Chains A and B, each alone.
Chain A
Amino acid sequence: MVNAVNNSKEFSCHKISGGRAEAPCIISPDDICFYLCDPKTGIVLEEGHALKGRSLADKIVIFPSGKGSSVVQTDGLFQLAMNGNAPKAIIVQYPDTVLVASCIILDIPMVDRVDPAFYHWIESGVTLHLDADRERIRVMAP
């Protein structure tokens, strides 16, 4: 579902954790464990990770799935949030309970089941307007 409105495109999605966010996106081809981010900067520390050295702070983070043990994911996100470096929102393909519970508890908007066309349209750095409650993602014109 693609609607051209003022040069932006809108895509449908499915709400997991409610809320709204507008921020540049960052796309990770790899799964993410937020525990392996530096809470002071939001920078990914994990060796071999596609986003190693890049910051997730204040971004809308797009990735396939969460990973890591059942406690560290929440603590990772919690530490990022306490330092003001949490993602603004999360878009995943394969949600898991750990990530879902973490985002609900920490009030981080999160969606899945995004229109597949979305993934062809976006690239890292583009600003998104995500409304989890309305189940809509708008890709802002560059």
Chain B
Amino acid sequence: MVLTEEEIAMLEGKYGEGTALAMRIQVGIGEAFDAQRLVPISRAHVALSNQEADLWFVEKLLHLGAACRVSPTVNPGFDLSYFSTVATVKSQDLEQMARTAQAYRDIGAILNYSCTPYLFDNIPRLHEIIAFSESSATPYVNAVYGARTNRESAQSALCAAITGRVPEYGLLLDEARYGTVLVQIEARLQSDFDYQLLGYAIPKKIHGEVPVFMGIPKDVTPESLMNLGAELNTAGAVPMYHILGVTPEAQSLEQATGYRKNLNTVVITNQDLERVHDQISKKPGPIEFVMLGCPHLTLRQIQNIAQLIHGHKLRTELWINTSAHTRLLAERLGIAQIIEDAGGHILQDSCVDQPIWAHLAGKIGATDSPKCAYYTARRSMDFVIRSIEECVAAAIKGEI
């Protein structure tokens, strides 16, 4: 790889050992993918996870004197001010979150604690070169905005934020962005939930390809696209897609495919979605809690929940994870009150895959998110997977 003087200075430790370590990792990734050079980034998003590896790495960089050249936004961990009042949360878990917050603050991150930064805090434009980790974020910024990022890990995105550079390979180059397989959607797509199943059904059918979706309506909602991306990167690794006539690099089939001909076509039917649904969901029956907001719910989704819940008393716990912005708006609009009066909780800054949920181990809940069910399997939570509307009805009735 050919490096600039400034990049060599970073690598050689002129900006401290922390920057040098971050640079070695960026160069190592570049060499693995045969990148010719590094290029500057204007934005980053680090999928902070508040897990041991995450804390170990950010503290290591910090102790070596690293600081971010480009302040990244970060993913949720959990809301310390709320969970420090919850009796079931262990003090060591509170300590880890506090340390994580401190380390990220000190290294220069923006502590927005949101897995949907692409909806408000960190919105790139077409062709902008950025470094985004987080499974729902990477495809959203690539596909929906036409910005350019590889599917960064939390650690590589942090190294990009520190060095202000990413190796130029993969989705930063035109060639890798073109669609290589056509995906004809014949399944009914009537709700945001259908896109959860669609996203989960795709990866096994298109290993490693960039899909061009045909048959997704022009008025597809941001929530549907958020769900689609989250599941594409839970069931597999699909950081880029096109929607013909919708996404900016797919205004025509020729543009989306770079004039490639004779591409394979994969057809997705209702049966495909039903099959995947049966495979990943537990059987319906009594449930003990409802977990929503993986990715973080939007204001529109929370408004919808408030309407459904208004005047009811919930039989089970209902947890709604969202961003601090959305939580603030929900309070301002009186929606938070409606949900809390019914017995539900709207949480900011928090993720479903955190130790705060230890008390739910061994219990069966409902969620709209296959991603939520997939990762929390390690925390021994089981889920019936249904639409938000059905999940809310289940919280009212105690069964689904």
Binding site for B on A (CB under 8 A): 15-17, 31, 35-36, 45-48, 64-75, 77-79, 82, 94-98, 100-102, 104-105, 112
Chain A neighbourhood of B279, CB < 8 A = 48
- Which of A64, A68, A95 has most chain B Cβ within 10 Å? A68
Chain A neighbourhood of B233, CB < 8 A = 68-70
Nearest A residue to B53, CB-CB: A78
Interface status of B112 (Cβ within 8 A of chain A): no
Q: How many A-B residue pairs have CB under 8 A?
A: 122
Looking at the assembled complex, report how far the CB atom of B367 sits from the nearest CB atom of chain A, in whole angstroms: 16
Interface status of B49 (Cβ within 8 A of chain A): yes
Chain B neighbourhood of A67, CB < 8 A = 203, 235-237
Given A69-B47, A97-B156; A75-B208 close (CB under 8 Å): no
Interface status of B32 (Cβ within 8 A of chain A): yes
Interface status of B52 (Cβ within 8 A of chain A): yes
- Which of B29, B153, B154, B203 has most chain A Cβ within 10 Å? B153
The CA-CA distance from A49 to B199 in the complex, in Å, is: 19
From B83-91, B132-140, B261-269, the one touching the partner chain is: B132-140
Interface status of B51 (Cβ within 8 A of chain A): yes
The CA-CA distance from A120 to B203 in the complex, in Å, is: 25
Q: Is the contact region of chain A dominated by helix, strand, or loop, or is it mixed?
A: mixed
Whether B378 and A98, one on each chain, are in contact in the complex, defined by CB atoms closer than 8 angstroms, is no
Chain A neighbourhood of B357, CB < 8 A = none
Give me 19 A-to-B residue pairs in the complex whose CB atoms sit less than 8 angstroms apart, sorted by A's number.
Answer: A35-B375, A35-B378, A46-B377, A65-B207, A65-B208, A65-B237, A68-B135, A69-B375, A70-B133, A70-B153, A71-B48, A71-B54, A72-B49, A72-B353, A78-B52, A79-B53, A98-B237, A100-B32, A104-B28
Looking at the assembled complex, report how far the CB atom of B349 sits from the nearest CB atom of chain A, in whole angstroms: 16
The CA-CA distance from A72 to B32 in the complex, in Å, is: 21
Whether A75 and B53, one on each chain, are in contact in the complex, defined by CB atoms closer than 8 angstroms, is yes
Whether B208 and A94, one on each chain, are in contact in the complex, defined by CB atoms closer than 8 angstroms, is yes
Whether B153 and A79, one on each chain, are in contact in the complex, defined by CB atoms closer than 8 angstroms, is no
The CA-CA distance from A45 to B28 in the complex, in Å, is: 31
Whether A71 and B51, one on each chain, are in contact in the complex, defined by CB atoms closer than 8 angstroms, is yes
Interface residues of B in 370-399 (CB under 8 A from A): 371, 375, 377-378
Query: Contact mask B161-183 → A, CB, 8 Å, 1/0?
Result: 00000000010000000000000
Nearest B residue to A96, CB-CB: B237
Whether A36 and B49, one on each chain, are in contact in the complex, defined by CB atoms closer than 8 angstroms, is no
Looking at the assembled complex, report how far the CB atom of B64 sits from the nearest CB atom of chain A, in whole angstroms: 13
The CA-CA distance from A123 to B205 in the complex, in Å, is: 25
Given A35-B375, A65-B237, A78-B53; A71-B153 close (CB under 8 Å): yes
Chain A neighbourhood of B29, CB < 8 A = 97, 100-101, 104
Whether A71 and B152, one on each chain, are in contact in the complex, defined by CB atoms closer than 8 angstroms, is no
Interface status of B155 (Cβ within 8 A of chain A): yes
Given A78-B53, A96-B237, A97-B29; A71-B377 close (CB under 8 Å): no
Chain A neighbourhood of B259, CB < 8 A = none
Given A17-B28, A100-B32, A101-B156; A71-B237 close (CB under 8 Å): no
Nearest B residue to A68, CB-CB: B234
Chain B neighbourhood of A101, CB < 8 A = 25, 29, 152-153, 155-156, 159
Looking at the assembled complex, report how far the CB atom of A24 sits from the nearest CB atom of chain B, in whole angstroms: 25
- Which of A16, A67, A98 has most chain B Cβ within 10 Å? A98
> Which of B52, B56, B75, B153 lies in contact with A97, CB distance below 8 A?
B153
6 shortest interchain CB distances as A-B pairs: A78-B53, A71-B49, A70-B133, A69-B135, A101-B156, A98-B153
Looking at the assembled complex, report how far the CB atom of B370 sits from the nearest CB atom of chain A, in whole angstroms: 12
Nearest B residue to A99, CB-CB: B153
The CA-CA distance from A70 to B57 in the complex, in Å, is: 14
20 additional A-B residue pairs with CB within 8 Å, beyond A101-B159, A102-B153, A102-B155:
A35-B378, A67-B203, A67-B237, A69-B47, A70-B47, A71-B51, A71-B54, A73-B153, A74-B57, A74-B153, A74-B155, A75-B49, A75-B51, A77-B53, A78-B53, A94-B207, A95-B33, A101-B25, A101-B153, A101-B156
Interface residues of B in 15-64 (CB under 8 A from A): 25, 28-29, 32-33, 47-49, 51-54, 56-57
Whether B378 and A70, one on each chain, are in contact in the complex, defined by CB atoms closer than 8 angstroms, is no
